[in-house]
Copies of this chain bind each other. A is one copy, B any other.
Amino acid sequence: MKHNTQQREAILKCLKSARGPLSPREILEAAGREVPGLGVATVYRNLKLLVREGLATEIVLPGQGSRYEISGLAHHHHFQCRDCRMVFCLEGCSKGIDSLAPAGFILEEHDIVLYGRCAECSHG
């Protein structure tokens, strides 16, 4: 990453203003509004680059391709709306998760995903 490009800036800006991790497609659409003609390959290339540089973090939910969110957020989990399919970052974390691991197992990490309807889609 030697040169700054408007494409990369636009992608980063998207991630910063998002309420949750975005899919490459969502990023293509959003950043494409700022940089017309933006191509898929560029989105993927830059996401990979941003992750490598530590500026973005890859988020994977069950049954879907990777999403990306801005790095540096505190430990948190996600909520996916079953209507609009959007993913939102949540705050905090449920206690007592560690106790779910069976004896003899070493727990290193955990993921929690909530599913339901977001405020808008729950007819807000």
Contact = CB atoms under 8 A, between A and B. Distances in A.
Interface of A: 60-63, 66, 77, 79, 82, 88, 90-97, 99-119, 122, 124
A interface SS class: loop
Nearest to A122: B106
A102 B77 CA distance: 12
Contacts of A82: 108
Contacts of A113: 110-111
26 contacts: A60-B63, A61-B62, A79-B100, A79-B101, A79-B102, A79-B105, A88-B102, A92-B100, A94-B94, A94-B97, A94-B99, A94-B100, A95-B95, A96-B96, A100-B112, A100-B114, A101-B114, A104-B122, A105-B117, A106-B116, A106-B117, A107-B116, A108-B115, A108-B116, A108-B117, A111-B115
